[in-house]
Amino acid sequence: MNSTQAKLSLGPLLFNWDVDKIRDFYFKIADEAPVDHVYVGEVVCSKRGYGNDYIPDVIERLERAGKKVIISGLALIMDDKDKRFMESHNAMSPDYMIEANDLSAINFLRGKDHAIGPFVNIYNEATLRYFEKGGAKRVSLNHELPCSSLKALADAATAELEVQVFGRLPLAISARCYHARAHNLNKGGCQYVCDRDADGLTVDTLDGVPFLVINGLQTMSYTYCNLMKELPEMLGMGINNFRLSPHDVDMVKVTQLYRDCLDGKIESDEASQSLEDEVFAAEFSNGFYHGEPGMEQVEL
């Protein structure tokens, strides 16, 4: 496989890391990671987003390194406070493409070029055309779509399509904070306890089997999506943009493996095995892509 058109992106950081850690992470991505696009901004909880004064420095460093920056917005806008946060977020970045992850944000951006994130449901060609007419130039497709749906959307798309190929998958988001409840706290007085779990808080079944992960307001898959072996098929569909979700691992090494695979420097089987060796503590899955339960790993 060798595609000069294929682009890699680093999705928005979904976890509540220390500010210094976030800044250092993005600086390293800027200097060392072979990605074309980087999404920055708070997606999960507006409380985390206040005081993110590091973003201008991060954007400057990323742009200096030749990365294209996209600003990601909240996945759930619940009240006036969240609305004001989004408006200030957008005002801070008038020169950058905004990724809308909530329908109210899409309404705010309608008529202007923008991106749509995977939290907005686009399951068919008519819905895709509707958002394209409203100004969507880039669409990150829903995680649960099987390959047949991806192909149908790729055949109809005029916008750039993107698929997440690495990392835990966001499955749901709620107005309630389960992370706070797990520590006998409420959302208003959460004490930001989600910062204790760099990749989310694991939830086990009654039988003690890891099943899901809680990240603040968000419910995520326990398994890490890995679509390394599926890259050739998606390229054949005309999908050329692939998203990696940041985790507390060596993301430079992860992005390099995907880049080398896309560039034909390493076969997908070998690259996938190297990824598993690198992120050895994770369990991987590709079930959604193959029309199976998302937590399943379909062997190819």
Q: What is the pLDDT of residue 5?
A: 83
Specify the higher pLDDT residue, 186 or 88. Answer: 186
Alpha-carbon gap, residue 141 to 153, rounded angstroms: 9
Higher-confidence residue of 291 and 73: namely: 291
DSSP for 49-89?
HTT-TTHHHHHHHHHHTTPEEEEE--S---SHHHHHHHHHH
Going by pLDDT thresholds of 50, 70 and 90, the confidence category of residue 193 is: very high
Question: Which tens digit of pLDDT belongs to each residue from 4-49?
Answer: 589 999 999 999 999 999 999 999 999 999 999 999 999 999 888 7
- Apex 282 CA angle, 37 and 143, nearest 5: 50
Mean pLDDT along residues 166-193: 92
pLDDT of residue 261: 96
CATH number of 7-170+223-290: 3.20.20.70
pLDDT band at 77 (very low <50, low <70, confident <90, very high): confident
pLDDT at 94: 64
Residue 207, pLDDT above cutoff 90: yes
* The pLDDT value given to residue 223: 97
Query: With 60 as the cut, is the pLDDT of residue 2 above it?
Result: no
- Per-residue confidence (pLDDT) for residue 92, from 0 to 100: 58
Helix, strand counts (H, E) of the chain: 11, 12
pLDDT higher at 91 or 68: 68
Please give the pLDDT value at position 108: 82
pLDDT at 267 over 80: yes
pLDDT at residue 82 tops 80:
no
Main-chain dihedrals φ then ψ at residue 233, nearest 5 degrees: -65, -40
For 127-179, write each residue's pLDDT tens digit.
999 999 999 999 999 999 999 999 999 999 999 999 999 999 999 999 899 99
Q: Between the CA atoms of 104, 105, 109 and 115, what dihedral angle is there, to the nearest 10 degrees?
A: -130
Instruction: Name the nearest CA neighbour of 246 among 7, 12, 9.
Output: 12
pLDDT grade, residue 109 (50/70/90)?
confident
* Residue 182: CA count within 13 A, CB half-sphere: 18
> What pLDDT score was predicted for residue 225?
98
Q: Assess contact for 36 and 9: CB atoms under 8 A.
A: yes
The residue ranges of every structural domain in the chain are 7-170+223-290
Give the Å distances, CA to CA, from 17 to 44, 169, 224. 13, 18, 19
- Model pLDDT, residue 181: 93
Q: Express each pLDDT in 218-251 by its tens digit.
A: 999 999 999 999 999 999 999 999 999 999 999 9
Query: Please, what's the b/e burial string for 136-149 (b: 16 or more CB within 10 A of its CB; e: otherwise)?
Result: bebbbbbbbbebeb
- Mean pLDDT for 69-97 is 77
Q: Which residues pair with 161 in a beta bridge?
A: 139
Tokens 């190297």, residue? 274
Dist. CA 171–CA 217, nearest whole Å = 11
CA 166 to chain centre: 9
